Amino acid sequence: MIRNSVGLHVPEPCSRPGETPDFSHIEVPPAGSMPRPAVDAHAAGMRDFAYGLIRVLDDEGRCQGEWDPQLSSDVLIKGLRAMMLTRAYDARMVRVQRQGKTSFYMKSTGEEAVAVAATMALERGDMCFPTYRQQGILVARGWPLVDMMNQVYSNSHDRLKGRQMPVFYSSREAGFFSISGNLGTQYSQAVGWAMAAAADGNRRISAAWIGEGATAEGDFHYALTFASVYQAPCILNVVNNQWAISSYSGIAGGENTTFAARGLGFGIPALRVDGNDFLAVYAVTAWAAERARSGGGPTFIELFTYRAEGHSTSDDPTRYRPATEAAAWPLGDPIERLKQHLVVHGHWSDAQHEALQRDLEDEVKAAGKLSESYGTLKEGDRLPAATMFDDVYRDLPPHLIAQRAQSGVLA
Amino acid sequence: MTAMSMIEAINSAMDVALGRDPDVMIFGQDVGYFGGVFRATDRLQQRYGKTRVFDAPISEGGIVAAAVGMGAYGKRPVVEIQFADYIYPATDQLISEAARMRYRTGGEWWSPITVRSPYGGGIYGGQTHSQSPEGIFTHVAGLKTVIPSTPYDAKGLLIAAIEDDDPVLFFEPKRLYNGPFDGHHDRPVQSWAGHPDADVPEDHYVVPLGKARIVRAGQDVTILAYGTMAHVALAAAQETGIDAEVIDLRTLIPLDLETIVASVSRTGRCVVVHEATRTSGFGAELAALVQEHCFFALEAPVERVTGWDTPYPHAFEWEYFPGPLRLGEALKRTMRL
């Protein structure tokens, strides 16, 4: 909380390296305590949803309250599988980065539900505008791991032709929009995409993701303004994982309010959700999708979660937060919580879980071997360097033809 | 053929584009109901409806971002930035997103957007209604930059820009909207009426991007100009009596280097003229290219006549603006007269 004081106030997290993690300021309301409004509810009457926390799974793994999406065990196991596959994929790609086979990687550990559950609540034709930490979207849509790995390795089969840093995937076919290093830019583009879909009246919608740190960018505000003005059929997600590299969420403006509350000022229904609760993320996304598809306009969702690992392979989080902080996170782990739910209801067992884990690791390993056979950043096949001049424009202009000839990379 | 001002020609280009392609969408500040602060989109909303021509919030970054998203969807957005001086909030979307979309996705996505913006000085516009920021964008790989100087070219180039699958910055010299201007601010304002380049077909036609136009053939020196400066160059040639070849570049990127090199190789002299400030302006690129490609033909250093390296002043409009007298002096120096 902001204290009254003279002088410049600079927010500080509750604990730093060497200190005991402290999440006592985080209020965790009981699962099922928030009602589920009608999908055509007016934003002005939904204030409490921006400050509360929608939760479905309780501590025993049982569903509570009106937000229970009542999904079949098949769908839940599919979601569990996609989250576990995302985590297994992340684990391998960090290993190969440490081995020098690629330059960089970013895990999404602890945030798998934010991508997977939301994607499963969308239709395949809906366009996702992710950040670099929603690889779970591609996994949930069954996109081949080999293709993702080819991008990470910048190898001879990389569809992005070795031009992008690792994890900046793009798949038009999977409805996964090209990732940019510039933060926030896709958030506002997603609104434009939804405006175009609305102009065509085809009931397709877009979904965008942004981290809580990047909400401080201008594009965040452009997106909310345009979404509100044109009632664009889109879902604007803020993944509040508490950390923007080394800066805690207070530095992004979260010290004395919620990120969801920002949506209210734009007249957009804003809901704050337990981001580690697969069922809650699914239910709220489905609510927002139905609202958008039926002409109800945009929805703003804060997904409250925790970035369990470092920001990237270039980051050491023990330099700015307690090493044990992730374990103390009060909302737990999305995979463990969904697993518990399935086990409690007799749809899953520890033995099945372990067997699936082994299968997924084998699947990742096999994909990795295949992808590495197409080359890695440092070894094996690669695309001809002359391709670096292609696709700057649709057609190669005269000055690039001249530079390509001059470069000596034609061979 | 109809006699059109440049603003009417630009309006006609968008009318034609809207009529031919249902994916063309036009938006920007005051662009819809009101028809634009310069009348460029006059009557288009009434003709094509609010979902195709509409007003936008005062948010240049948001306007271009929405256009990029629409382009990714499959639309062909044409957006207006009210003054080029106000394009800067959109530079992240233009430089980091639109320009790189095709490249970074290996051709999977692209940005077929056109960004129209009134630009240039000579209207007592002061610091924020006079700028010529083209050099910022010609430096960006992936963008095309177009600047017309006549009603005929404005319509043909704008249709070509809209139909182009790459992002195009279309800078409109607002000093030329209602009539040609050669820098003689003390003479009566002219209209486009009766000017040969104001005869504009009402239907579809294109002036291809990447092709310069020789405005005046000459033997002694080549003047490289664009926008309002094409008219200033013509006046300077006539007033000095120097037989200058005046080339209106029309498109800065892609550049018609062939026409430039052929001309300078013949004349052996070159003067570059633009309104924008000098240091790192597009003139520096032109001078370097001429030096690289025409070194052995050159008989004098390449001259640059440009705006000064200052913000655009209000009271000192005509001391700042590179008019025919300043250009004429440079021509004489180049000819060692």
Q: Hey, what are A404's tokens?
A: 């390509």
- Looking at B129, B139, B231, B314, which residue is catalytic? B129
Give a yes or no: residue A243 inside a domain.
yes
Which one of A177, A192, A392 has the shortest CB-CB distance to B65? A192
Is residue A27 a part of any domain in this protein? no
Give the contacts of B228 (CB within 8 A, at least 6 positions apart). Answer: B120, B122, B149, B173, B175, B176, B181, B183, B275
CB-CB neighbours of B292 under 10 Å: 10
Which residue range(s) make up the domain with A410?
Answer: 384-411
Instruction: Give average pLDDT by consecutive 10-residue segment, chain A, 411 residues.
Output: 76 96 95 98 95 98 98 98 98 97 97 98 98 98 98 98 97 98 97 98 97 98 98 98 96 96 97 98 98 98 97 96 96 98 98 98 98 96 94 97 90 53
Please name the CATH architecture into which domain B213-336 falls: 3-Layer(aba) Sandwich (3.40)
> pLDDT digit string (tens) for B305-319?
999 999 999 999 999
A150 in a domain, yes or no?
A: yes
CA gap A277, A339 in Å, rounded: 11
Candidates B233, B266, B235, B267; CA nearest to B247 is B233
- From B205's Cα to the closest Cα of chain A, the distance in A is 21
Concerning whether B129 is annotated as a catalytic residue, the answer is yes
Query: Between chains, do A178 and B104 touch, taking CB under 8 Å as contact?
Result: yes
Query: Of B52, B103, B108, which has the smallest distance from its Cβ to A172's Cβ?
Result: B108
**Residue contact A163–B61, C-beta within 8 A:** no
Q: How far is B42 from chain A (nearest CA, A)?
A: 21
Q: Report pLDDT digits (tens) over B231-282.
A: 999 999 999 999 999 999 999 999 999 999 999 999 999 999 999 999 999 9
Q: Do residues A145 and A61 share a domain?
A: yes
Counted residue by residue, chain A has a size of: 411
Task: Spell out which chain A residues touch chain B, with contact meaning CB-CB distance below 8 angstroms.
Answer: 127, 129, 158-161, 163-164, 168, 170-172, 177-178, 180-182, 185, 188-197, 199, 206, 218-219, 222-223, 225-226, 229, 390-394, 397-399
Could you tell me if A352 and A390 lie in one domain? no
For residue A183, what are the contacts with CB-CB under 8 A and spacing of at least 6? Answer: A131, A210, A211, A213, A214, A217, A219
Answer whether B105 touches A (CB < 8 Å). Answer: yes
Residues A241 and A344 reside in one and the same domain: yes
Closest alpha carbon to A284 in A270, A265, A263: A270
What's residue A103's pLDDT? 96
CATH number at residue A294: 3.40.50.970
Residues A303 and A398 in one domain: no
Based on the domain organization, do A132 and A198 belong to the same domain? Answer: yes
| Strands B144-146 vs B251-253: parallel, antiparallel or unpaired | antiparallel
Average pLDDT, chain B: 98
* B 307-326 near A (Cβ less than 8 A): none
Whether this model's ipTM surpasses 0.90 comes out as yes
Question: Rounded to the nearest 5°, which phi and psi values hold at B250?
Answer: 65, -50
Instruction: Give Cα B337 distance to the centre of its chain.
Output: 32
Element (H, E) at A127: strand A127-129
Return the residue of B nearest to A164 by Cα: B104
Query: Cβ contact (<8 Å) for B255 and A399?
Result: yes
Report yes or no: A196 and B25 within 8 Å, Cβ to Cβ.
yes
Backbone angles phi, psi at B223, to 5 degrees: -105, 125
Query: Is residue A58 assigned to a domain?
Result: yes
Residues A405 and A280 in one domain: no
- pLDDT tens for B14-26 read 999 999 999 999 9
Q: Are residues A258 and A150 in the same domain?
A: yes
Q: What is the mean pLDDT of residues B73-92?
A: 98
Q: Is A8 a domain residue?
A: no
Within-domain flag for A197: yes
Decide if A191 and B75 are in contact by the 8 Å CB cutoff.
no
Q: Is pLDDT above 90 for B167?
A: yes
What is residue B337's predicted lDDT score, i.e. its pLDDT?
75
Q: Which helix (H) or strand (E) holds A227?
A: helix A218-229
Domain identity same for A289 and A177: yes
Considering the four listed CATH numbers 3.40.1260.10, 3.40.50.10860, 3.20.20.80, 3.40.50.970, the one that applies to the domain covering B2-200 is: 3.40.50.970
Give me the residue spans of the domains in chain B. 2-200, 213-336
Whether residue A321 is found in the same domain as residue A226: yes
- For residue A2, the model assigns a pLDDT of 53
| Among B105, B252, B259, B293, the residue to mutate for chain A (most A Cβ within 10 A) | B105
Both A366 and A404 in a single domain?
A: no
**Closest Cα in chain B to A391:** B103
Query: Does residue A370 sit in the same domain as residue A256?
Result: yes
Calpha distance A380→A378 (Å, rounded): 7
Write the single-letter amino acid at B241: G
- Could you give the number of structural domains in chain A? 2
pLDDT for A411: 53
Q: Do A229 and B103 touch (CB under 8 A)?
A: no
Same domain, A255 and A392: no
**Does any domain span residue A24?**
no
Q: Does B110 touch chain A (CB under 8 A)?
A: yes
**pLDDT exceeds cutoff 70 at B188:** yes
Mean pLDDT of all residues in B195-202: 97
> Per the domain annotation, does A16 fall within a domain?
no
Which residues of A fall within a CB distance of 8 Å from B169? none
Question: Is B51 in Cβ contact with A188 (below 8 Å)?
Answer: no
pTM equals 0.97
Of A160, A193, A399, the CB nearest to B105: A160
